[in-house]
Homo-oligomer: A and B are copies of this chain.
Amino acid sequence: MDAQILETDVAIIGAGPVGLFAIFQLGLVDLKCVVIDTLDRAGGQCAALYPDKPIYDIPTWTVISGQALTDRLLEQIKPFSPQFLFSRMVTNLEELALHQWQITTNMGDIIRAKIIVIAAGAGCLHPKTRSISHNTPHANWGIPLENNLFAVDTEKFETSRKGVFAIGDINSYSGKLKVIISGFHEAALMAQAAFSYVHQQQKLRFQYTTSSSSLQKKLGVK
């Protein structure tokens, strides 16, 4: 794929299960996503390294493989048509203005986004992505790491940089467990905060997929 120049609402770094479910949650509040991953496919470690590995603690599944989990999440986010950039490393993240971020990749892509969501698994960002490795200065990101994790609050899962969120195994807060269901929860709360930023603090009326015809329309429910 040639180098891309893209504008989007949200740039998600990491296409593992949590990054994928973030697309779903952001889609429900009408935010479009570009997703960048160092791997050549979606699913993160789950699908790329251990596709057949059984997982026993996903709610509603006595057992599910990493690949099946990934495939089902990809099916679930289809209505939102995310754009994936695979086999790319984020080499630079720059804040051009309030809620105007610019990501550069090692392939020369430029992605401009209002919101940044770091959904890379804890093992995925280091040491591949130089500018946030703990071995090098974080001049470009300016986001402090604690033991290679981004400290976040538990209301928005936002890092110390306003508009940059971190969800899944890469974040840290009191009580944090590195389990996929926590990443799903974090994605849901992050999406509310992201909406509020993009729409300049407009209050989002929370709706349920079960009862909202507006949400069901977005999901393509017939």
Q: Which residues of A contact B (CB under 8 A)?
A: 17, 21, 24, 28, 50, 53-64, 69, 72-73, 75-76, 154-156, 173-175, 177-179, 181-182, 184-186, 188-189, 192-193, 206, 208-210, 215-216, 219, 221
Pick the contact of A60: B57, B63, B73, B216 (CB < 8 A): B73
Chain B residues whose CB sits within 8 angstroms of the CB of A54 once the complex forms: 210, 221
Pick the contact of A209: B55, B75, B173, B175 (CB < 8 A): B55
Nearest CB in chain B: distance from A33 CB, A: 16
Taking a contact as CB atoms under 8 Å apart, the answer to whether B215 and A56 are in contact is yes
Chain B residues whose CB sits within 8 angstroms of the CB of A50 once the complex forms: 210
Q: How far is the CA of A57 from the CA of B216 in the complex (A)?
A: 10
Q: How far is the CA of A119 from the CA of B61 in the complex (A)?
A: 21
Chain B residues whose CB sits within 8 angstroms of the CB of A156 once the complex forms: 175
Chain B residues whose CB sits within 8 angstroms of the CB of A57 once the complex forms: 24, 28, 208-209
Chain B residues whose CB sits within 8 angstroms of the CB of A69 once the complex forms: 60
Q: How far is the CA of A126 from the CA of B117 in the complex (A)?
A: 39
Pick the contact of A62: B61, B75, B175 (CB < 8 A): B75
Q: How far is the CA of A46 from the CA of B23 in the complex (A)?
A: 25
Q: How far is the CA of A21 from the CA of B57 in the complex (A)?
A: 10
Nearest CB in chain B: distance from A26 CB, A: 12
Chain B residues whose CB sits within 8 angstroms of the CB of A73 once the complex forms: 59-60
Nearest CB in chain B: distance from A180 CB, A: 8
Using A55-B209, A59-B73, A59-B76 as known contacts, list a sample of 11 further A-B pairs with CB atoms less than 8 Å apart, ordered by residue number in A.
A55-B210, A56-B219, A57-B208, A59-B184, A60-B61, A60-B73, A61-B76, A62-B219, A155-B173, A179-B188, A182-B188
